[in-house]
Chain A
Amino acid sequence: MKKLLLFLVILGLMTASLGALAQQEVTLSVLWFNDANESEVFEDTVKDYLEQNPHVKLDMQVIAFSEFEQKLKLMISGGNAPDLARLPTALLPVFLPTLEPVDGYVDDIEAVKAGFMPAMMAYALSPDGKMVAYPTEATGNGMLVNKTAFDKAGIDVAALSQEWTWAQWEEAARKVIDANDNIKYGLAVDFTPHRFSTILYQFGGRMLNEDLTAVAFNNPKTIEMLSWFKRMHDEELIPKSVWMGSEKANELFQAGIAAAHIGGSWNINGYSKDITDFEWMAVRNPKGEINSSVPGGKFIASFQQSPNKQEAQKLMAWFSDATHNAMYCAGTFNLTSRVDAEVNYTANKENFDTFAEDLKVTPAYAAQEWNSPLVGKASAIIREQVVQMLMGNLTPEQAAAEIDAQAAALAQ
């Protein structure tokens, strides 16, 4: 009997210690995409945390952004969600139902929320007010110009762009093209509704109806912008090869073929490294009816399916505090999403400030529209119909009506 008791005690102890060991060793799977060097900087930033918590290991999976949405959807639908993932603004509403709220893992959720910019926190909240992700970096869409080419045309672009309209930009762009042999176009716009919507908002247009329940391109201001976009392509101020071909707007800008680029603030980092042939700078977006950027950003989130929710939440909280967020944003050359982080950029402070100025005057509906899953789902439809218009297959009015009609089927 004694032997049996002793055996049971030893067995119990062994099971308990094995269980404790198993609990201690945690490998957090992280799904990531890069705009530039974000995965490297993320790993550098959390290095201290991993040293202080040796039972935690990271399994980083970095994939191309073009494959990111599909990969994550397949992982979740297969029951294999990662413990952590980097998410852009546009995908946050898509994955919202699968995210694990931060509420419940921190002592004072309101204090945590207050640490971030309200616009960024608006993206990170579920409809019932729960915080489902930590904002990491804020982004804005803005204009980057080839200063050397503007100088050669005798235009002081820094002064002109303090407050300029699209008409003034057009006049300047024509002069720049005339004065520079290699510059063939005034502007390259990324082939994505996100960057396209920057100009759309400036023209006073909207993509959704007032209560954000349906795609509503068929409104006068949006149609006015579509007509302008078509004219710019027809008059070769914007290259056809981006929206109608497969060339990248940033590559045309870097190659010195386009005088300006409407892109995201993450381009500042890339251009700092890659452009050596000419001087470039960020300028204020030209004004249409209003000034506008498109606020956005990146987030880090954990999933309801994650087997290591507790550890994932701890790591996210540590990575997102003011000190580490500042380190991450400085290393990746991004705008911080926190209100209290002091980011010491080693270069390009003026360019970041310019993007931030446009963000400050951006209307709230720009963020609200991009926070709707409708826009993300209709993105491919928007792109296709805009291209149909550029090809001359549809008028701007027909393109707007077609976008609304096709997007309506998404809700059926």
Chain B
Amino acid sequence: MHTGLSTRPRRPRGNFHQIAAPLLFLLPNMLIFVLFIIIPAFQGLRMSLTDWGIFTGSRWVGLRNFERLLSDRVFWITVQNTLVYSAATVALLTVVSLGLAMLLHRNDLRGEKAYRSAFYLPSLLSMVTVGIAWRFILGDEMGIVNYILRTLGGPGVGWLTDGGLAMASVIGVSLWAQAGYYMVIMISGLQAIPPSLYEAARIDGAGRAQTFFHITLPLLKSTLLVVMVLSNISAFKAYELITVMTGGGPGYATKLIVQQVYQVAFMEDRMGYAAAMSVALMAIIGLFTLVQFRLTGKEQDYE
């Protein structure tokens, strides 16, 4: 018999708000993300399938740009350089920022805040400023370092004119400029580890190394992942510092994919081909990020 009363349970009124409110809060961010990331990314993908030049119009060429990439020797040199630069930068940034954080996270060192500020300060500078400053410091003839070396009676060193040293110099300056930023992230990760775990380890007689490898590192896994992913993406996109310091030279010695993309797009006016290089770069970054996630694994709750 129909009583006129519904037997179906009514959804609480608050549910609509619980669903709609978060979506509305997300909406502005999502709009910006779609407008400035998703749409340009798809436009870039479409552009990579054309031979577009800024003033010469666009013609559909299918996958020809990608076929050409496979046999482009200079592109593969820049891929190799990018891998070397990013592997070295990520490894050094992770180790050095962790080391600095280990020294400066306990609030028991005199002048600790001053040290933290000093290490963090370079990360506030723009990479262009950093590049110009270090170009003057490491210059062959007019650089400060070589001036000191020569004053002491030694020969000058080709910091930026020798291919191998130029790459090492760029990696070193990247480390100087960014280690402080990642140190702050590491400090917050270290401070989130419960002190009771260290206390328990000490009572059990664990040494410093054991404590580091069995407590600190495992509990810092998610922080390490963040640092490695962020520094890796930053390394793959390093443009300003290298352009200002070495211009990608000498020769191809410090030329990364992004420098080659700029040259092909804006100097050679081959926008379509440059877009294909950018798509390849995006794929490489995606692959590396995936590998990093896999290697670092799932976070475990030790509490």
* Chain A residues within CB distance 8 Å of chain B: 69-70, 73, 76-77, 94-95, 97-98, 184, 239-241, 243-247, 251-252, 255, 257, 376-381, 384, 387-388, 390-391, 393, 406, 410
Known: A70-B266, A240-B161, A377-B268. A245 touches B139 (CB 8 A): yes
Q: Is the CB of A380 within 8 A of B141?
A: no
Kindly report which residue of chain A lies nearest to residue B243, judged by CB atoms: A66
* Chain B residues within CB distance 8 Å of chain A: 54-55, 74, 135, 139-142, 158, 160-161, 163, 244-247, 249-252, 263, 266-270
Give the residue among B163, B250, B266 with the most A Cβ atoms within 10 A.
B250
Q: Is the CB of A391 within 8 A of B266?
A: no
If over half of A's interface residues share one DSSP class (helix, strand or loop), that class is named, otherwise mixed; here it is helix
Q: Is the CB of A391 within 8 A of B160?
A: no
Selected from A69, A241, A381, A384, the residue in CB contact (under 8 A) with B161 is A241
Q: Is the CB of B139 within 8 A of A240?
A: no
Q: In the complex, what residues of B have CB within 8 A of residue A239's CB?
A: 140-141
Selected from B142, B158, B247, B252, the residue in CB contact (under 8 A) with A257 is B142
Q: In the complex, what residues of A have CB within 8 A of residue B55's CB?
A: 76, 95, 97-98
Give Cα distance in the complex from A388 to B73, angstroms: 14
Q: Is the CB of A241 within 8 A of B139?
A: yes
Q: Is the CB of B140 within 8 A of A247?
A: yes
6 contacts between A and B (CB under 8 A): A69-B266, A69-B267, A97-B55, A377-B267, A379-B267, A406-B74
Q: Is the CB of A246 within 8 A of B245?
A: yes
Give Cα distance in the complex from A247 to B161, angstroms: 10
Kindly report which residue of chain A lies nearest to residue B267, judged by CB atoms: A380
Q: Is the CB of A245 within 8 A of B54?
A: no
Give Cα distance in the complex from A387 to B249, angstroms: 8
Q: In the complex, what residues of A have CB within 8 A of residue B263's CB?
A: 380
Selected from A69, A70, A245, A257, the residue in CB contact (under 8 A) with B160 is A245
Q: Is the CB of B141 within 8 A of A391?
A: no
Besides the known contacts A246-B246, A388-B252, 18 further A-B residue pairs in the complex with CB atoms under 8 A apart: A73-B54, A97-B55, A239-B140, A241-B158, A243-B250, A244-B251, A245-B140, A245-B160, A245-B249, A246-B244, A246-B249, A247-B140, A247-B142, A377-B267, A381-B268, A390-B250, A391-B163, A410-B270
Q: Is the CB of A240 within 8 A of B251?
A: no
Kindly report which residue of chain A lies nearest to residue B246, judged by CB atoms: A246
Give Cα distance in the complex from A73 to B55, angstroms: 9
Give Cα distance in the complex from A393 to B253, angstroms: 11
Q: In the complex, what residues of A have CB within 8 A of residue B244's CB?
A: 246
Distance to closest chain B CB from A88 (angstroms): 14
Give Cα distance in the complex from A76 to B266, angstroms: 13
Q: In the complex, what residues of B have CB within 8 A of residue A98's CB?
A: 55
Q: Is the CB of A255 within 8 A of B142?
A: yes
Kindly report which residue of chain A lies nearest to residue B55, judged by CB atoms: A97
Give Cα distance in the complex from A246 to B246, angstroms: 6
Give Cα distance in the complex from A265 to B285, angstroms: 46
Give Cα distance in the complex from A134 to B163, angstroms: 44
Give Cα distance in the complex from A98 to B54, angstroms: 10
Selected from B54, B161, B245, B267, the residue in CB contact (under 8 A) with A244 is B161
Distance to closest chain A CB from B238 (angstroms): 16
Q: Is the CB of A380 within 8 A of B251?
A: no
Give Cα distance in the complex from A387 to B251, angstroms: 5
Known: A244-B250, A257-B141. A76 touches B135 (CB 8 A): no
Give Cα distance in the complex from A56 to B161, angstroms: 50
Q: Is the CB of A246 within 8 A of B160?
A: yes
Give Cα distance in the complex from A104 to B223, angstroms: 67
Give Cα distance in the complex from A379 to B264, angstroms: 11
Q: In the complex, what residues of B have CB within 8 A of residue A94's CB?
A: 269
Known: A245-B250, A246-B135, A391-B250. A251 touches B54 (CB 8 A): no
Selected from B74, B140, B142, B268, the residue in CB contact (under 8 A) with A410 is B268
Q: Is the CB of B250 within 8 A of A380?
A: no
Give Cα distance in the complex from A257 to B156, angstroms: 14
Selected from A69, A246, A391, the residue in CB contact (under 8 A) with B139 is A246
Give Cα distance in the complex from A240 to B270, angstroms: 31
Distance to closest chain B CB from A390 (angstroms): 8
Q: Is the CB of B269 within 8 A of A377?
A: yes
Q: In the complex, what residues of A have CB within 8 A of residue B158's CB?
A: 240-241, 244-245
Distance to closest chain B CB from A375 (angstroms): 12
Q: In the complex, what residues of A have CB within 8 A of residue B161's CB?
A: 240-241, 244-245
Q: In the complex, what residues of A have CB within 8 A of residue B250's CB?
A: 243-245, 387, 390-391
Q: In the complex, what residues of B have CB within 8 A of residue A378's CB?
A: 268
Give Cα distance in the complex from A381 to B141, angstroms: 26
- Counting from the closest, the 10 A-B pairs by CB-CB distance are A241-B140, A244-B250, A245-B161, A244-B161, A245-B160, A388-B251, A387-B251, A97-B55, A70-B266, A380-B267
Q: Is the CB of A384 within 8 A of B251?
A: yes
Known: A241-B161, A246-B246, A393-B251. A380 touches B268 (CB 8 A): yes
Q: Is the CB of B266 within 8 A of A73?
A: yes
Give the residue among A76, A244, A376 with the most B Cβ atoms within 10 A.
A244
Q: In the complex, what residues of A have CB within 8 A of residue B140's CB?
A: 239-241, 245, 247
Give Cα distance in the complex from A378 to B268, angstroms: 7
Q: In the complex, what residues of A have CB within 8 A of residue B74's CB?
A: 406
Give Cα distance in the complex from A338 to B268, angstroms: 32
Give Cα distance in the complex from A252 to B141, angstroms: 8
Distance to closest chain B CB from A335 (angstroms): 28
Kindly report which residue of chain A lies nearest to residue B266, judged by CB atoms: A70
Give Cα distance in the complex from A410 to B273, angstroms: 11
Distance to closest chain A CB from B99 (angstroms): 31
Q: In the complex, what residues of B have CB within 8 A of residue A69's CB?
A: 266-267
Selected from B54, B246, B267, B268, the residue in CB contact (under 8 A) with A76 is B54
Give Cα distance in the complex from A333 to B160, angstroms: 34
Q: In the complex, what residues of A have CB within 8 A of residue B270's CB?
A: 410
